Amino acid sequence: MVSLIGIVLGLGTLLLFVSPLLYVYIKGPEGTSPTPYEADLAERREKGRDEQ
């Protein structure tokens, strides 16, 4: 019985941390503002093009 409660609590906390990440992952590309990681990638791509 205790293990079941532990599993439920563990999944609950995991969901609490994962859901914002999933929200950003799903909304990021379509949203108006890209995530900092995506913005950084785009910036690096632009620099790479300039050097070539």
CA angle 23, 16, 41 (to 5 degrees): 40
Interval 32-51: pLDDT, tens? 555 566 677 777 777 776 66
Task: Please tell me the distance from the alpha carbon of residue 7 to that of residue 12, in angstroms, as a whole number.
Answer: 8
pLDDT, residue 40, reads 78
Q: How many domains does the chain have?
A: 1
Whole-angstrom CA distances from 48 to 17, 40, 44, 52 are 34, 12, 6, 7
State which residues form the domain around 34. Answer: 2-51
For the segment 10-30, what is each residue's pLDDT rounded down to a tens digit?
A: 998 988 888 877 777 766 655
Res. 7: pLDDT tops 80: yes
